[in-house]
Structure 1
């Protein structure tokens, strides 16, 4: 298991005076960082697909980062294993 230091949400959220999370000055992500995160996220989703896993909970809280630049997906609770009946249905 690898220690992850924070989630993607930590980059743009901070606690306000009431200890509630709020957007911090509506800053934009640096373009280089955003590109790196998007590519890593797409690679992670390709790995999920290769294992017949449907990952259904992509959000900033579930994209973890560490200080070495590693990016991982977490919280597979909403994920499903793709089987033949799901693959050929139009449901959902």
Structure 2
């Protein structure tokens, strides 16, 4: 289930999703900075490791795009929180899908 924190942060998302997503595609999450940009890069690299028809690839790429916007906006504010909630949901779906695959 997506993170239940009142305010979602990039750090919450990194803690919850970076390692299992990286592991699922043979990457090391520790190679990426613990920032929104670092997580976005990890997600793009993970997406590149998946087939072009894999739904998880779409979720990872879209989440990476939104994390880049979060990095520009900062971790607070209603617009940022909406983006982070979408990212949380997308990463939850991708993580679940990758765990089944």
For normalisation by structure 1, the TM-score amounts to 0.33
Higher helix share: 2
For normalisation by structure 2, the TM-score amounts to 0.31
Higher strand share: 1
- Say which one has the larger Rg: 1
